[in-house]
A and B are shown apart, each in its own frame.
Chain A
Amino acid sequence: MTARVGVVTFPGSLDDRDAARAVRRAGGEPVALWHADGDLHGVDAVVLPGGFSYGDYLRCGAIARFAPVMGSVISAAGDGLPVLGICNGFQILCESHLLPGALTRNRHLHFRNRDQRLRVETTATAWTGGFAERALITVPVKNGEGCYVADSATLQRLEADRRIVARYVEGNPNGSLHDIAGIANDRGNVVGLMPHPEHAVDPLTGPSEDGLAFFASVLRHLVGTPA
């Protein structure tokens, strides 16, 4: 059976259709989820896509965190539901306290869109199991507030527990501490990524196909998970 992966649309979500396309290209069935609907419609995993939910007003992700759908996502994530937050989705996961730390204004204060080299630092998450160890990949970044910060104890714990999912290499685009591009929760089912793997699923429209493995990984992970 094809895994069903929910893609949430908040007011101001922008990369929802791209995330759905990536799920489809990886062999999954994308399911549209609406911010005001607390029902997850039985999906096997959830993607919180990029964009500017609620215009990034107040703080990126701070309003979306209170959407009805997020109550369900937070509780299902506690039960092990795989959740991937991309860019604004990562910000929402931090605001929801599913992931530690925060995404702040880029050090250089500009929005920056570039093709970014990354090193995948762990394959022990629901979303990275399909990568080779320490794989080097190219995926677009595009954000104005992507500078990851956390207190030093949190950073130490993330490093020690191998919860840093991906790191910027060949240049840090936003000033993130420890070159962090993505992190996971301790169980490995919730992952936040600042770069956009859904924009790297087809060489025609992106810099590579490297992003596809995040979506393929979760499908593989779900096959191995008893229903």
Chain B
Amino acid sequence: MTHDTVEIAAKEGHLEQPYAELGLKTDEYDKIVGILGRRPTATELAMYSIMWSEHCSYKSSKVHLRQFGDKAPASDRMLVGMGANAGVVDIGDGLAVTFKVESHNHPSFVEPYQGAATGVGGIVRDILTMGARPIAVMDSLRFGDADAPDTARALPGIVAGIGGYGNCLGLPNIGGELVFDPTYAGNPLVNALCVGVMPVNRIQHSAAEGTGNVVVLLGAKTGRDGIGGVSVLASATFDSVGGPARRPSVQVGDPFTEKLLIECCLELFDQELVTGIQDLGGAGLTCATTETAAAGRSGMHVELHRVPLREASMEPPEILASESQERMLAIVTPAALPAVLSIAAKWEVDATAIGEVTDTGRLVIDWHGETVVDVPPASLADEGPVYERPMRRPADLDLLQATDPSTLPRPSSAVELRATLLKMVASPNLCDKTWVTEQYDRYVQGSTVLAQPEDSGMIRLDEDSGLGIAISTDGNGRHTRLDPYAGAQLALAEAYRNVAVTGATPIAVTNCLNFGSPEDPEVMWQFAEAVRGLADGCRTLGTPVTGGNVSFYNSTGLAPINPTPVVGVLGVIDDVTRRVPMGFPAAGRILLLGETAEEFGGSEWAWVQHRHLGGRPPVVDLSREQALASVLAEGARRGLLGAAHDLSDGGLAQVLVESCLRGRVGARITLPDGADPFVWLFSESAGRVVVAVPQGAGSTFTDLCVGARLPWTAIGEAGGESLAVAGVLDVPLAELRTAHEGTLPSLFG
């Protein structure tokens, strides 16, 4: 069989190529011809089509994402910033932490188990690539209505896939989100986060440097799975029939191989045997070879026929586009090669020298003696098209914002308020999530200090000093739909607050930006506003964005999902024994920190009771969030807090129920004179936290609040067997538990 070679392409000049079928636009194709001075070979065309896809090139988002760098607050913790596989922050004691959240939405819709499993596998390899040992995962999941037929198909498979992969890797799953909303019905969101830790001096780089160094492919054999994952799947919108037909574009995971790959790579790093390392994820070998060569400002010569294959009949474009999982590309010196191969053999990991670093500035790929690729690597990796897409404020936004929830009928009598409380805590977004989280191992590695349902996951890093980290992810598509600038900041504020309530200090941010089609000007406007809001918010809070991921084309037909920026915040805590849990202690004063206003725009109450989405989201006050964080950190450090729990969806009522059930203790609450019980119990004003303060510590703690100009209200005491709000309701814990815990088991079995 003859292959399309560089020689043939040069002779044939400008023969038309099937670029449109591969997702390239005419001007993009013309640009490729300009770069090469000839038509691309079939293999080169496949490589450009995937590297210049939305997923790989960030061509629609790049001009906006620059704000994360331009507006980044000064931080002496940043060791590796945006643009690398994952950002790295210094947390002291010679340790560095890397974390990142990434989407695997479309693969998980098409093939729930494998799509979600390989989403975990991919983000874990990003963390490993930085030199870190992965130490925990989290996942943010969004589905259509809980009782929708496709949710019953997608959710159990996605949860099983996340568990199946993460459990087998030995990574504790310490938190995440589970949200239901009809806009995700045809496009569920699966965002996976991983965090890793390393000694500061073990940070790895992805540059292919040093002429004559060897390019080694580690891990699984290359097969036909996942071809087109980034271009066909992730960079296009699903139409009504697109789903199952695209199953071959989904990768298939093997967590056992990944576990061995992790241990093998960490041993290579510890013995300082690699000069560069890059994971193979989206765009497979194409991405790994072009990005390492571009980063090294070098060239690379690859003998593609050396790549171990699962299927001998694979052609060069397939081998280069395959997204087979559990593979890494290492750059090693010829002197180190024998040691590298021997460590790989110890871990039973395949290792194959497939090429070498050159000084030509070209990526040259040969296939059985013929050259099929000869390109400048940066033209693929860094110099893809960049678009300033047209933007337009959504035509329906004024009407949506004017449709205020203030006119909705509200519960007022004691009987109605009690019924509302029970309905709310049993609703799919507010109910207990144990049915999901108990499918994940939270204990493995033996350092999990906090895990779901706590506000943040917390991991101990040092058994002697007690140094640890806390992480939370949050997002609210309804708030962002109503006001993308404020919605992104609310997500940031909530994740920041969730870290703060555990006693940790927030230091850095990652994000996964899930939006509809960038070719829709209204979606593009939402995206731009959300990025602007998030970048401004991070600057104000002093928490730099260290990296993230953009997922576009989350639409069903022409209908986009609610714009959903998911924000992950990392915090550090000097001594994890000082962590603050969410469950009330047996006794103690309960205080509400912050201020409660009548804010029901985009609230759970408006949705659960009325299927209503309209008005404005809650007001964001980032200086209030900072005051809260400083008071909580100091309160935790001084042992003044028996419990702390952040208020968000469902408001105060939800927090009281969760803290009572978690602590297995009741609470006697008295709202302030003149307070409207409905507003106080269910409003979703931001910047609020409920704390329980041990008897005797009350005035010391409230002095801290006064010092930070943080308003607080004493609302009651922990104790008893029921949640009682004076003059309003009194519900036994057993009844609350039945309502709160019964929903997911009854839906999913």
Contacts and interface: CB of A to CB of B under 8 A. Distances in A.
A163 B257 CA distance: 37
B170 A14 contact: yes
Contacts of B255: 52, 55
B160 interface: yes
A140 B163 contact: no
B167 A18 contact: no
21 contacts: A11-B259, A14-B259, A15-B444, A17-B445, A18-B446, A52-B168, A55-B255, A55-B257, A55-B259, A56-B168, A110-B439, A111-B163, A113-B438, A113-B442, A113-B443, A199-B446, A204-B576, A205-B443, A205-B446, A205-B449, A206-B443
Nearest to B439: A111
Contacts of B460: 204-205
A204 B439 contact: no
Contact of A11 (B163, B169, B348): B348
Most chain A CB within a 10 A radius of its CB, from B160, B170, B577? B170
B112 to A, nearest CB: 15
B441 A142 contact: yes
Contacts of A205: 443, 446-449, 460
A72 B628 CA distance: 59
Contacts of A18: 443-446
A212 B601 CA distance: 51
Contacts, number: 85
Interface range for A: 20 to 34
Top 4 nearest A-B pairs by Cβ distance? A55-B256, A14-B170, A18-B446, A199-B443
Contacts of B441: 111, 113, 142
B256 A111 contact: no
A12 B262 CA distance: 11
A18 B170 CA distance: 11
Given A204-B460, A205-B447, A12 B168 contact: yes
Contacts of B442: 113
Interface in A11-62: 11-12, 14-15, 17-18, 21, 50-52, 54-57
Given A12-B256, A52-B256, A55-B256, A111 B443 contact: no
Contact of A112 (B257, B439, B447, B449): B439
A110 B257 CA distance: 22
A113 to B, nearest CB: 5
B447 A114 contact: no
A111 B254 contact: no
B747 to A, nearest CB: 14
Given A111-B164, A112-B438, A204-B576, 8 more contacts: A11-B260, A12-B168, A55-B254, A111-B160, A113-B437, A114-B438, A199-B443, A206-B443
Nearest to B437: A113
A51 B447 contact: no
Contacts of A4: none
Nearest to B579: A204
B184 to A, nearest CB: 23
Contacts of B99: none
Given A12-B168, A12-B256, A204-B577, A140 B347 contact: no
Interface residues of B, number: 32
Given A55-B168, A198-B446, A11 B256 contact: yes
B485 interface: no
A196 interface: yes
A110 B168 contact: no
Most chain B CB within a 10 A radius of its CB, from A11, A110, A205? A205
B109 interface: no
Interface in B220-273: 254-257, 259-260
A51 B167 CA distance: 8
B167 to A, nearest CB: 6
Interface of B: 160, 163-164, 167-170, 254-257, 259-260, 347-348, 437-449, 460, 576-577, 749
A54 B256 contact: yes
A29 to B, nearest CB: 17
A186 B374 CA distance: 69
A52 B164 CA distance: 11
Interface string A160-185: 00000000000000000000000000
A112 B255 CA distance: 18
Nearest to A18: B446
A227 B460 CA distance: 39
Contacts of A11: 256, 259-260, 347-348
A144 B160 CA distance: 11
Contacts of B447: 205
A55 B254 CA distance: 8
Contacts of A51: 170
A197 B169 CA distance: 20
Contacts of B749: 108
Contacts of A21: 446
Contacts of B440: 111, 113
Contacts of B254: 55
Most chain B CB within a 10 A radius of its CB, from A21, A110, A112? A110
A57 B169 CA distance: 14
Contact of B160 (A57, A110, A198, A199): A110
Interface string A112-134: 11100000000000000000000
Contact of B256 (A50, A57, A110): A57
Most chain B CB within a 10 A radius of its CB, from A51, A108, A111, A198? A111
Contacts of A54: 256
Interface in A129-171: 140, 142, 144
A142 B166 CA distance: 13
B453 to A, nearest CB: 13
Given A55-B168, A112-B438, A204-B577, A142 B443 contact: yes
A58 B168 CA distance: 15
A76 B677 CA distance: 69
Contacts of B444: 14-15, 18, 50, 142
A203 to B, nearest CB: 10
A180 to B, nearest CB: 21
A209 B160 CA distance: 30
A51 B164 CA distance: 12
A210 to B, nearest CB: 14
B159 to A, nearest CB: 9
A56 B164 CA distance: 11
Interface in A177-225: 196, 198-199, 204-206
Contacts of B170: 14-15, 51
Given A12-B168, A56-B168, A113 B439 contact: yes
A140 B451 CA distance: 14
Interface in A68-117: 108, 110-114
A55 B170 CA distance: 11
A198 B449 CA distance: 15
